[in-house]
Amino acid sequence: MKLKVYVESTIPSFYHEVRTETEMVARSDWKREWWDERSGEYELLTSVAVIDELSRGDYPSKSQVLGLIENVPLVPIEEPIAEIVRTYVLHKVMPSDPLGDALHLAAASFHRCDFLLTWNSRHLANANKFAQIRRVNILLGLFVPMIVTPLELLGGDAA
């Protein structure tokens, strides 16, 4: 059985990154390498929240970004997920934007995804926040996904 990966919005957006700063180029390269060569080893999932996020605004690569995830199955955003989001915000695990990072974490946790894949190191892929995320998820009786970047999934074989 393939491990489940919830694909957060920064992943498709970095695939088509056009900024030329060294860090942006590296992230885009690692993301492309993982997506093109390794993503087939996993069951990829995303949500309508990711599509909504990527649909906002006007930017040159919008159709390519959305096209990258058009065949990725969507996990349903059910009522219990809204309660999980409220709990994350209440416990200051995530910022109060109910349609952002808290929703991605809640969806990945509720749907028992093995990984939440992101480049968001401020609120998600942040080792300093992970203990708090784990504590709240355990209190809620939720699965605790590993929150990783594409770079972390490049090495080794998927189980």
80 lies in some domain: yes
In DSSP notation, 5-69 reads: EEE-THHHHHHT----SHHHHHHHHHHHHHHHHTGGGSEEEB-HHHHHHHHSS--TTHHHHHHHT
pLDDT at 65 over 80: yes
Mean pLDDT of 43-51: 95
Bridge partners, 147 (sequence order): 116
Mean pLDDT of 78-95: 88
Number of domains present in the structure of the chain: 1
Domain hosting 116: range is 4-154
39 lies in some domain: yes
Among the listed ranges 20-24, 91-95, 139-143, 153-157, which one has the minimum average pLDDT value?
153-157
Q: Are 153 and 139 in contact (CB under 8 A)?
A: no
d(CA 102, CA 108): 10
Task: Tell me which range, 6-20, 74-88, 120-134, is most confidently predicted by mean pLDDT.
Answer: 74-88
- pLDDT for 70: 94
- What are the structure tokens assigned to 134, written together? 């784990």
Mean pLDDT of 46-59: 90
Q: What is the pTM of this model?
A: 0.86
78 lies in some domain: yes
CATH of the domain at 50: 3.40.50.1010
- What are the structure tokens assigned to 44, written together? 């990829």
Strand order in the sheet with 43-45: 43-45, 4-7, 115-117, 146-148
pLDDT at 154 over 60: yes
- pLDDT for 82: 92
d(CA 27, CA 110): 28
159 lies in some domain: no
Average pLDDT, the chain: 85
